[in-house]
Structure 1
């Protein structure tokens, strides 16, 4: 699909992933209250081995009457399907019409290693949870045998009065197609700006209302050594998780990561970190002054991308005061334009 075949370049939503590293969730109220004035429309969360995905959004709903709330993502293995639907419906009561429920398989390290839950048939489990939760949030009575679980009979007592968008964390074609054929869109992340057209080609033209959220990792500092030192351990770890290895193989980036994978497979994580090329670190975890970071972030703003979600790892000096934090977020975001 050529650029001319895609939809016009509309202004995207801009979101920030909370909590910001180095700031506890209880100290985010002033940040959340300021985000709309800084041009941000969304707050997003993630869930792995730290903060859960729902609590920061419940706090955000109490602190802001306008921000959209996005989960990026709720792991489909670590909560039962009905619990996911119940929690989403409860959050939707606090933020009617403003919830984007992102579901995804997560990775074995977050499912099996720390929760003791088998990581089996991730695509099928994600599809089944998507189908169940979508029906439950519409208020349907669900009694069905899915491929990975059975529901004896369930109906939400108080389904959302306004629709909840259900989207998927998606990296490769099969999950991307599911996200847009049966869901309301997808969240993707850890890719170079030049990889975005490949995602868009798989997705194809979409009707208004479907979401393509691109998560961009940012370390706004001119201290390149700090930025790379901050990013390398995370990148060496995440790029060796099976979904992300396969993702970058599909994108054609496996040559850049061959030495990283070899060192990791040899049980040498320190060498794997050192082997991550600077161009990969700088491309997947944007750094530089806030103004330079914003220029790089805007490269992800391509036709079909509806939301830019920032994961901001602030340098220590930026955490010195509330005003400094907000100033950095302002310079990174849409209000800077």
Structure 2
């Protein structure tokens, strides 16, 4: 099992201890650090900053929102950071949701599967640098000849020669079609709310993607980077209680009532009788009441919380379910050192 450090995105102010966390991850055998973005800080800039202070740990985005940049712009970020880090870049991307895509980026959210495929294809063309980049797809046509065009668009190859044509591309995906496409076109998958208990649900979707003509990987070479909260403690209940509001937020408040992809995941996991009431309470402002409905066993399924022996046993379960990297949020260098000792030995 490899470990990744999830730095996430900033809150109202920049975090004050991420330098310390990154140095600890580098020193204690973590495989990668990951940054995220929502509608505040971006995912690429912190990687450039921390890449300068490290030499071994990989630099990943978990995740970049596709609609925030054109595919060629994403590829430019990737080429630049891969060169500066001497080949440590991992590009993690996702479609986000309609509230962010249309409300923040001012882009249409429709046809996320087709848009994802085009984005990945264009980025791979840029990184291959075999010919001027063109795309006939409807979402990101290159050259552009639509309304407002002056008709002078020219296919271009990147000026920079990419360090690697095969920079890993991992995709965030939740639904059956999205997961299958990820297994077909990507190098890895960044699931949300993946658990050993729910792993069997995803296997047919993954197998469908691996079986498609031209699929890049088999199950043996495909990365699954699952996020969970891992805390080593002899008193797990306060941690479980702390995580219930976070679970309620995603189940009930991350997305519109009519379209909450995270709620759909919990529905598929067998919690449909619970999710509707959690969403109703959360969206009506009764957030504490929504959190109180989250059962302890769901939190324990989503996360790894307990003493050292319990954590080691759970790690084996996650690894047996197909997870290759656990992406963790840690609060201190001491916690990173302790987790590394217990998990990595």
Question: What TM-score range do you get, normalising by the shorter chain?
Answer: 0.7 to 0.9
Match of 2:119 in 1: 129
Aligned match for 1:210, one of 219, 222, 225 = 222
Q: Does 1:144 align with 2:150?
A: no
Q: Does 1:330 align with 2:340?
A: yes
Aligned match for 2:75, one of 70, 85, 89 = 85
Question: Quick check: 2:5–2:34 contact (8 Å CA) kept in 1?
Answer: yes
Matches within 5 A, 1:1-337: 12-18=1-7, 27-139=17-129, 140-152=131-143, 153-162=155-164, 163-204=166-207, 206=218, 208-222=220-234, 224=236, 226-240=238-252, 241=255, 242-264=260-282, 266=284, 268-289=286-307, 292-302=310-320, 304-312=322-330, 314=331, 319=332, 322=333, 324-331=334-341, 333-335=343-345
TM-score after normalising by structure 1? 0.81
Q: 2:275 & 2:76 partners in 1: Cα distance?
A: 41
How many residues align? The count is 316
Which protein has the bigger strand share? 1
Question: Quick check: 1:96–1:160 contact (8 Å CA) kept in 2?
Answer: no
Question: Quick check: 2:92–2:170 contact (8 Å CA) kept in 1?
Answer: yes
Q: 1:155 & 1:55 partners in 2: Cα distance?
A: 24
Give the Å deviation of 1:294. 4.8
Report the CA distance shift for 1:154/1:276 in structure 2 as closer, same or farther (over 3 A). Answer: farther
Match of 1:7 in 2: none
Which range is displaced more, 15-24 or 165-174? 15-24
Q: 1:297 & 1:259 partners in 2: Cα distance?
A: 32
Question: Quick check: 1:168–1:187 contact (8 Å CA) kept in 2?
Answer: yes
Query: Where does the alignment leave 5 or more consecutive residues of structure 1 unmatched?
Result: 1-11
Q: What's the C-alpha RMSD, in Å, of the aligned pairs?
A: 3.0
Superimposed CA distance per residue, residues 184-230 of structure 1 (whole angstroms, 9 cap, x where no aligned partner) = 12111213321123223422371654322212233555555542443
Q: Which has the larger radius of gyration?
A: 2
TM-score after normalising by structure 2? 0.79
Match of 1:5 in 2: none
Query: Where does the alignment leave 5 or more consecutive residues of structure 2 unmatched?
Result: 144-154, 211-217
